[in-house]
Structure 1
Amino acid sequence: MLSDDAANHVGRVMRMQVGQEVLLFDGSDAEFPAVISTASKKNVEVDIQCRNENSIESPLNIHLGQVISRGEKMEFTIQKSVELGVMTITPLISERCGVKLNAERFEKKLSQWQKIVVAACEQCGRNVIPEIRPVMKLEDWCAEEYDGLKLNLHPRANYSINTLPEPVTKVRLLIGPEGGLSAEEISMTEQYKFDEILLGPRVLRTETTAMTAITALQVRFGDLG
C-alpha cells in the first residue's frame, strides 16, 4: 500500500486506475516498476514487478547551506536544487535573514520542505532522497568539520568556478540572504576556510544565485553538460 501522500497523488491528482503502471522508489538507489491493483481517492495498493538498480546521482556531492529566504523563494530554491542534484540542504539563520520564526514554526516548515524534496525527486526521477537538515545558525554550520571544498559566493571575489582546481568531488556551498552576508559574517567564513568565488559581473537574487552556482558546479565537476 502506498503512503498517504503518494496515494493522494496517484488517486486524487493523477486519477490513475487499476491496471495502470507506476514507477516507485524508496530512497535505496533503485526503482520498482509496479501495477496498481486497487485504487481509490484515499488508498492505493500496487503489485511490485521487480527491483531495478538505476543510479542517476551526480558524482559531485553538493551540500547547500541556504540562508532562509522569504515566502516561496525558499521552496523554489529547495525544489530546483534537488532537481539539479544537490545531496544535502541545510536551512540557515544569519544576521540579515528576513524570516523570524519560533522553533515550532520552523519544525512545521521543515516538514513542508521535506515534502517538497520528495515531490522534486518524483518529478525529476531521482530515487535517492536528499537530506534536508534542521535549521542551524550560520556560524554553527560553517564551523562543522568538512573534508571537501567550501565555497562562499561574493560579488567582489577574485576567483570564479572555472578557476577552481580539479578534481572536486565534494562541495559545501553557502548562499546568503537577500541582503547578503554582513562584513563580520564574511570574515567569519574566511576563518573557517571558505573560499570566496564570483559568478559574474551582475548581482543576482538569492534564489537565482543558488541555481546558477549549482548548475555551474555540476557542469564543471558533475554530470550536466
Structure 2
Amino acid sequence: MRIPRIYHPERLGVGDEITLDDDAANHVGRVLRMSAGQSLQLFDGSNQIFTAGIVAADKKSVQVKVLTCAPENRESPLDIHLGQVMSRGEKMEFTIQKSIELGVNTITPLLSERCGVRLDAERLDKKLQQWRKIAIAACEQCGRNRIPTIRPAMALDTWCAEAEDGLKLNLHPRASHSINTLPQPVKRVRLLIGPEGGLSAQEITRTATHGFTDILLGPRVLRTETTALTAITALQVRFGDLG
C-alpha cells in the first residue's frame, strides 16, 4: 500500500509525538484502518517531509511519532496568483483542486458583474473553509509540501488594483497576444479568469487601466474551469517546471 501523506498544521520535529487532527485521524483510523506500527508521511507546510510511525490508532484518535525529516522542494519556479471569478456548483472546487496540482501559489475567489454565485458573508466563510480543506487534500495527493493560500473572496476591481510586481494577464477571446509571445523571463504572474459569461466590456477596460495584458489561448471558446487549467498549464510549460 502506498504510504499515506498527511498534513499537520503545526511545525514538526524529529522525535515529536503528536495527535493527528480530527480530519486526519478519521482518514487514517476509520477510512484506511491503519494501526500501530504502520508508517505515514507528514508535512507541515515548511517544504519538508517527515516519516512517522503510528504509536496508537482507533476510529477517533491517532497518535504518531516523527522519525525522520528531509527537505523536499516540489514548488514551481513560477509564482502564479490565480484570480478566479467564482463559478457555480462543483466547478470552483474543481478549479481550486486542479490549479493546486498544477502549481498555483495563491487563489483569490472574485466577484464580478456576471458572477453567477451570490452568497452572504456567512456562506462565503463556509465556502472558504471548504476550499482550504480542498487545498490541503490536493497537496496530500500531488506531493506538494507547501499549502497554497486561498484568500477570502473580494470584488474584481479591488483585486485588480492590488500592487503586483509581476506580469498581469487577462484571458480574452479577441486578444492579439498569446502566452508564447510573452517576453521571458517571467517569475510572477497574476492571472485573471472571468466568469462563465465573460467579463463585461467595462470590466475589461478597467483591467487594462491596472496594467493587465489581454492574452488569447486559442481559436476555441473554453469553459471557465477549462480556461484556468489550460492557461496555468501553458504558463508552467513556458516559464515554470512542466515539460
Deviation at 1:3, TM superposition (A): 1.0
Matching of residue 30 in structure 1 with residue 72 in structure 2: no
Deviation at 1:147, TM superposition (A): 0.2
TM-score, with length taken from structure 2 = 0.92
**Consecutive unaligned residues in structure 2, runs of 5 or more:** 1-18
What secondary structure sits across from 1:185 in the alignment? helix
What secondary structure sits across from 1:168 in the alignment? coil
User: What letter is aligned with 1:33?
Assistant: T
Paired positions, count:
225
TM-score, with length taken from structure 1 = 0.99
Matching of residue 4 in structure 1 with residue 18 in structure 2: no
Aligned counterparts of 2:55 and 2:221: Cα–Cα separation in 1: 53
Aligned counterparts of 1:85 and 1:130: Cα–Cα separation in 2: 9
Q: Identical aligned pairs, as a percentage? A: 72
User: What letter is aligned with 1:91?
Assistant: P
User: What letter is aligned with 2:98?
Assistant: K
Matching of residue 70 in structure 1 with residue 88 in structure 2: yes
Aligned counterparts of 2:164 and 2:36: Cα–Cα separation in 1: 48
Deviation at 1:129, TM superposition (A): 0.3
Aligned counterparts of 1:116 and 1:103: Cα–Cα separation in 2: 20
User: What letter is aligned with 1:220?
Assistant: R
Where do 4+ consecutive residues of structure 1 move more than 6 Å?
A: none
Aligned counterparts of 2:50 and 2:128: Cα–Cα separation in 1: 28
User: What letter is aligned with 2:115?
Assistant: C
Deviations 1:60-102 (A, max 9, x none): 0000000000000000000000100000000000000000000
CA RMSD of aligned residues (A): 0.6
Deviations 1:13-67 (A, max 9, x none): 2221211111000001111111111111111111111111101000000000000
Q: Which range is displaced more, 9-18 or 170-179?
A: 9-18
Matching of residue 20 in structure 1 with residue 59 in structure 2: no
Aligned counterparts of 1:148 and 1:49: Cα–Cα separation in 2: 40
What secondary structure sits across from 1:51 in the alignment? strand
**Consecutive unaligned residues in structure 1, runs of 5 or more:** none
Aligned counterparts of 2:155 and 2:41: Cα–Cα separation in 1: 38
User: What letter is aligned with 2:203?
Assistant: E
